[in-house]
Structure 1
Amino acid sequence: MGQMKAMMKTRHRVAAGALLIAAALGLARSASADSYPARSVTILTPFAAGSVTDAAARVLAQALTEQLGQPFIVENRPGAGGLLSAAAVARAPNDGYTLLLTTNSTHSAANGLFKNVPYDPIKDFTPVARIGSFASFVAVTPDKPYQSMQAIVAYAKANPGKLSYGVGNSTSQIVGEALKKRTGTDIVRVPYRSNPAVMTDLIANQIQIMIADFNTGIPQLKAGKVNALAVLTRDRHPLLPDVPTLSETVMPGYHILAWAGVFGPANLPPEAVKVLAGAIEKALNTPTVRQRFASSGTDIYWSGPKEFDAFVKSELVSWTAMIKEAGIEPE
């Protein structure tokens, strides 16, 4: 009888201890969710300061800092078509304190453009939220004899290999090579680390053509330093209503739209994903962020983790097909 009572007391102690442990774990999880972020968060971007991706990252970082009470710090890590920054985040601790604000360059186009991509764009990342899309236009300087897409094609055919275009991201490379293939022209591709450097050389006449994102191109357009010959969107863009689309000019049916979103390393804690996705959605609905995004040519398209995950997977297929259609071989 005494032994039985002792055993029952032991069982009660074990059960009570288990309940205490479970409660403690629950409180820890709750505290973890409530306290994230508990320190500064780094947002890596794959392009240089002054690029549209950098501009979007800085606007969003400021909004997240104000909302969540911890510094969100943007770190530019350009190079290798964005692979450097994406690989760094893929290898980072999955604690929510290293994020990647990136584009189709690293997660839709890289596998088709490069032979050796040091990460898996699907398996090595946690999609947090899509934030928007970037429009672009074909730019030349006003002193050139070709001031339309038709004139560029005619000049390129009459002067094979005499024109060059700068490549600061995957969108510009794909469009440039697709243009050459569809029109049967020989235009030299010149690679750069980011679009601001391309614009500098375009104005300096080191190259003759550029695919400019709106953030890089519109200030120079307003200053009279470049002209816009065609936008890459399906329809004419509200910011440039008088500029025709590529489809209207020399590439019927062709359009391309770069996208941007936020990722963390694989297996990011669900609590962190929830906090970040909610804060990003709230930020994108504030008048200040909407105005600043609009002025840089960033069209807001928010989607949460599940929808963004499906979008990234479908875009990987679409961009790979566009790259093959343009006749681009991985390098």
Structure 2
Amino acid sequence: MSPMSDRPNPSAPVHRSGFACFVGRPNAGKSTLTNALVGTKVAITSGRPQTTRHTVRGIVHRPDGQLVLVDTPGLHKPRTLLGQRLNDLVRATWAEVDVIGFCIPADQKVGPGDRFIAAELAEAKRTPKVAIVTKTDLVDPQTLVQQLLAVQKMGEDVGIEWAEIIPVSAVGDSQVTLVADLLVPLLPAGPPLYPDGELTDEPEMVMAAELIREAALEGVRDELPHSLAVVIEEMIPREDRPADKPLLDVHANLYVERPSQKAIVIGHKGGRLKDVGTRARKQIEALLGTPVYLDLHVKVAKDWQRDPKQLRKLGF
């Protein structure tokens, strides 16, 4: 018997599976890219920096592999205890993933924020890194070329050798598939980590809380960037409902730091909170595939971002 016979068939396609995370300064297009790849709204996207607080995983299923996307908060120079915890969370994630995608927007020059992250990334020596230039739909070809060269140089300056540099527009769907094509080969060989059809393993309550938070941030861009936390107190199927007409009761508290912020969230005669409830309810119903009764209350938790006890209570 030849020594070759017990080796695996080299022509059989290798299935790969593993974890990837996108990093980048706040608002670099990480969540939008995650959603475009997964094809379902999983990570929270909002026009405000620092809205992705939880590690939300989106899962890309392909015949040749399974890519599990871990969405981390934007890394930034921390000013508060919450900021410090978010940064610790980012670094812990980098140590556990198989590949890191560094998102740099095409429409903004490479700046100190990007260099700060690149220098941190250079420390994760064993993890392959891919540079993803996002929002390419916002610039002309000449600007894009300049940005790709700037990203290449930024890597050289800190000692990162990019496995790939990929221009992409998640909004225009340009090259999103290419991102998956290039990330999957960097994963270890192995069977799928999640059964087919699952898009996220984030607990439903956490995802519902994220959707409420996103709806509440909509339209109050500047007043409440990150002084808003949402905690779902309970999520229970209503009793006495026929099996073909279920209703899920969701009771949630929105926490702000000051009474003036509470007034902003509630709005004139409660109109704003009502809109938030309607928008969030539709999203939660789409997520869970069941009708929802959403009960929202706004509470003041003074300076919660700086108070370790409050942070623990609110899940950070």
Q: State the TM-score, normalized to the length of structure 2.
A: 0.29
Specify the structure having the higher radius of gyration (Cα).
1
Q: Kindly indicate which of the two structures has a greater share of residues assigned to helix.
A: 1
